[in-house]
Amino acid sequence: MSYTIAISPLSWVSVEKAAAWHEVVAASTEHDLPGEQPPSLKQVQAQLTTGGLDSRRLLWLATGPDGAVEGVAGLRLFDSPGREHLSELELYVHPDRRRRDVGSQLLAQAVFAARVEQRRSMVGVAADGGPGAAFCEAHEFRRVLTFIHLLLDVAVADTRAASAAPPGYALVTWTGTVPDDLAGAFAAAKNAMNDMPTGEMDYGEQHWDVERVRAMARVLADRGDILLTVAALHGNVMAGFTEIVIRAGEQRRALQYDTAVVPEHRGHGLGMWLKAAMVRRLRAEHPGITEIETDNAQDNVHMLAVNQRLGFREHRRSHEYQLDVQAGTR
């Protein structure tokens, strides 16, 4: 008897469906990334039910003959100017249900949807040397960027750079949404992210304004996450910033979000100063957080050097893969 898999769209995320999705993601993480802490059910549920910034998400479940959810896929469709061509794939198959064409059928559904949405490119991340990387290569995805993932032990981080401000600069901090009097300067500084290394990825550009930075903070707040920002002011100009997110219910690890220094203010040690000040802030305000995770493109040698000076150490590697949606897959 043939093995039949049913692929169905998930238009409404019930508690039961979220739990099934989480079970697949958690089992895949534990199997494919030994030692990595999988996301909690609360974190997965928040991701599935909270709208993303300038994007929307399509979801599918793959169900086996016994009614069990064997795989899940999500396709994020970006809608902001400069990124309307892009889609981002998230796909997991339960380790006990692999080698049954589940992943290929989920991918086929996602590719069809991307074509309908007139997307040019589909990108996704897979761990170096893992089954996800082999899957991507077997389905005509092209490796376009390598990420180095790093971990920092907060207790032993070298924060001496935070002891004195570079001449002419002042430190400001906030939690959640940027204060009104800093919003315009912060939005301008955010646009410095557009020169980060993206390898051969068809990434496009993100354009930040006051409403968009506020919208990003709302997305994180709706998920129950805590957003911490430390920034450098030079007069009325925001010269740089760094962001940390503590996910809802997280007891141990914080995630590094954006860090950027405006081009005109580079060469003054602002990146190191800001990140060291953030570590000191974490120690004071969130003593239960013991480590920070970040990732840098392999080509981003400057930020890698800053992170290594602070005490970050390489944890693992992953690769960004990209598919020409119109060309299709095998």
CATH of the domain at 246: 3.40.630.30
Q: How many CB atoms lie within 10 A of CB 135?
A: 19
Statement to judge: residues 164 and 40 lie in one domain: no
Residue 125: inside a domain = no
Statement to judge: residues 284 and 175 lie in one domain: yes
Residue 138: inside a domain = no
Instruction: Tell me which of 67, 96, 119 is where a domain ends.
Output: 119
- Looking at residue 289, its pLDDT comes to 97
Residue 69: inside a domain = yes
Can you list the residues of the chain whose pLDDT is less than 70? 1-2, 328-330
Statement to judge: residues 253 and 111 lie in one domain: no
Tens digits of per-residue pLDDT, 99-108?
999 999 999 9
Statement to judge: residues 33 and 72 lie in one domain: yes
Statement to judge: residues 107 and 168 lie in one domain: no
DSSP per-residue string spanning 68-100: -EEEEEEEEEE-STT-TTEEEEEEEE-GGG-SS
Q: Which has the closest alpha carbon to 253: 223, 297, 286, 295?
A: 286
- Looking at residue 3, its pLDDT comes to 76
Residue 326: inside a domain = no
Statement to judge: residues 66 and 181 lie in one domain: no
- Looking at residue 329, its pLDDT comes to 58
Residue 38: inside a domain = yes
Tens digits of per-residue pLDDT, 177-197?
999 999 999 999 999 988 877
DSSP per-residue string spanning 123-141: EEEEETTSHHHHHHHHTT-
- Looking at residue 328, its pLDDT comes to 57
Tens digits of per-residue pLDDT, 189-244?
999 988 877 778 888 888 999 999 999 999 999 999 999 999 999 999 999 999 99
In the structure encoding, which two tokens stand for residue 9, read together? 């769209």
Statement to judge: residues 162 and 54 lie in one domain: no
- Looking at residue 71, its pLDDT comes to 98
Residue 42: inside a domain = yes
Task: Count how many domains the chain has.
Answer: 2
**Mean residue pLDDT across the chain:** 94
- Looking at residue 330, its pLDDT comes to 52
Instruction: Tell me which of 97, 119, 141 is where a domain ends.
Output: 119
The residue range of the domain holding 228 is 150-316
Statement to judge: residues 114 and 218 lie in one domain: no
pTM: 0.92
Q: Which residues partner with 77 through β-bridges?
A: 56, 87
Statement to judge: residues 312 and 176 lie in one domain: yes
